[in-house]
Amino acid sequence: MDSHAIVARLETLVPGARAEAVAAIDQPTVLVGAESLIAVCTALRDQPDLGFTALVDIVGVDMMPRVPRFDVNYSLVATGIPARLRVKVQVDGETPRIPSVVGVWLAAGFLEREVWDLLGVTFDGHPDLRRLLTPDDWTGHPLRKDYPVQIDSPVAVHAPLQMTEEQFRANIQADRHVRKGDA
């Protein structure tokens, strides 16, 4: 099923839901409004002809300076008929908020914590939204493009090693000589 067929099916299952097909080269992708996320995800999971019963990953992306700034991508798998789907939600603001899908897929628990920890997208209704990868006393969200860099060290630049064929052969011979001496 392509993204246009999925959107057409969602329009009948979730009337009034904001969903549109998005062009993508790797898998069908559907852009969903945050206000419809729970209803759309429930329909995707519960309808036998769709059957997206497995949430594989949630990935947040900071698209600054674009408005809306953040994309939250849900990777789903239909287990009955092998199929993949990306559900994308766009959200904006200094403290972006979208509903939690933990009630739809329990696997979302740690995935939503990771996105909140690293990007600061709050998942309303999440039962335990706290730091996952950074220390509890960490300030800010390190994957935001406007997050201040805290390392003050010079940039390391490495040049590729250049040697002649004769130098290379000499190094090989010297290495063989050392190995024979060790044996």
Burial of residue 22 (CB within 10 Å: 0-12, 13-18, 19+) is middle
Q: Which residues contact 55 (CB under 8 A, 6 or more apart)?
A: 74, 75, 76, 101, 104, 105, 107, 108, 111
List pLDDT tens digits, range 48-91: 999 999 999 999 999 999 999 999 999 999 987 779 999 999 99
Q: Please state whether the predicted TM-score (pTM) of the whole model is above 0.75.
A: yes
Residue 183 has pLDDT above 60, yes or no: no
**What are the sequence ranges of the domains in the chain?**
3-142
Give CATH superfamily name and number for 3-142.
NADH:ubiquinone oxidoreductase Nqo5 subunit (3.30.460.80)
Look at residue 150 in the predicted model and tell me its pLDDT.
Answer: 62
| Adjacent-strand bridge partners of 22 | 29
Q: Work out the average pLDDT over 104-130.
A: 97
